[in-house]
Amino acid sequence: MSAPPRDRQGLQVIDADGYGLALTFHRQQDRYRHEIALVTPAGPMPWLESMESSDAIAWPDSPPFQELSVEWQNDRHVALLVGMAGKSYWSASIETNAATRSLRFDIACRLREPPQKLGSTYRFAWPPASKLPSADQPTSSATAALEPAPSASRSQMVWVVAAPPPDLPAAGPSRKQNGLSRLDSCVLRTSDENAHCERSDGDSLIAIVPRIGTPVSVTTVRWQYEFSWEGLTPCSQKTDSDKIP
């Protein structure tokens, strides 16, 4: 498999039908922010974007990645990142998994002092249901509403398609070329052992928070999580074998 062009700053995992996830990096001041989008044959649809802090903040909302390398490792598209804020160092490996149509994040922070805040924070970027095409807004560009769904576990967050695009039936598993079905679900899943998910600001912000003991007795804190678009596979059918190792 050939390497991506040098100017491509991102990863994508897309199935044979043209559905999947895309991760795009953008330079913002001294660091890279990233966006995650659902991809359909009609094009990408924004889902989440990382929430970044300024270079004056020692404990930022998200890891402060200043250097980025995107490459192929065997059959997987991988992004490697490093950065520094205050006295601490962050590193990350982000890779695609075609079998699960997912993006997997493995992040670490090497501490030089007890942390005031650690984790990864995202802003929900999907258009709200009010932006869907309607008689009042027939030219709206939104194609479906994606809304949070209840989850019994702090290690998982689920979003479901709350309203299908206009050209789809209100129920049933069928999915046309340009949209989503009600059975589509988007999932953020963390490793049970090292992190959990939190919602805030009326569900518009989510954070992946690593588990840190008190007092802090480690020099390196690591947290792992993945984003997946599970399509027509209901989340309730996931088994222990689907967890992040």
3-state secondary structure of 237: helix
Closest CA to 144 of 183, 115, 193, 113: 183
> Is 243 a member of any domain?
no
Q: How many domains does the chain have?
A: 1
pLDDT, tens digit (0-9, with 9 covering 90-100), for 186-238? 788 887 677 888 888 766 888 999 988 666 666 899 999 999 987 533 333 33
pLDDT, tens digit (0-9, with 9 covering 90-100), for 95-106? 999 888 899 999
CATH number, domain of 83, equals: 2.70.98
Closest CA to 206 of 230, 222, 190: 190
Tokens of 210: 């690593």
The span from the CA of 87 to the CA of 22, in Å, is 32
Amino acid at 15: D
> Is 78 a member of any domain?
yes
CB 165 within 8 A of CB 178: yes
> Is 45 a member of any domain?
yes
> Is 5 a member of any domain?
no
pLDDT, tens digit (0-9, with 9 covering 90-100), for 31-80? 999 999 888 777 788 889 999 999 999 999 999 999 999 998 887 889 99
The span from the CA of 51 to the CA of 162, in Å, is 25
> Is 144 a member of any domain?
yes
CB 73 within 8 A of CB 51: no
> Is 195 a member of any domain?
yes
Q: Output the pTM of the full model.
A: 0.78
- Tell me which residue range forms the domain holding 19: 10-234
Task: For residue 47, give every residue at least 6 positions away whose Cβ sits within 8 Å of its Cβ, in sequence order, or none.
Answer: 36, 37, 38, 124, 125, 126, 146, 159, 186, 227
> Is 244 a member of any domain?
no
> Is 2 a member of any domain?
no
Tokens of 166: 């206009």
User: What's phi and psi for 78, nearest 5 deg?
Assistant: -130, 140
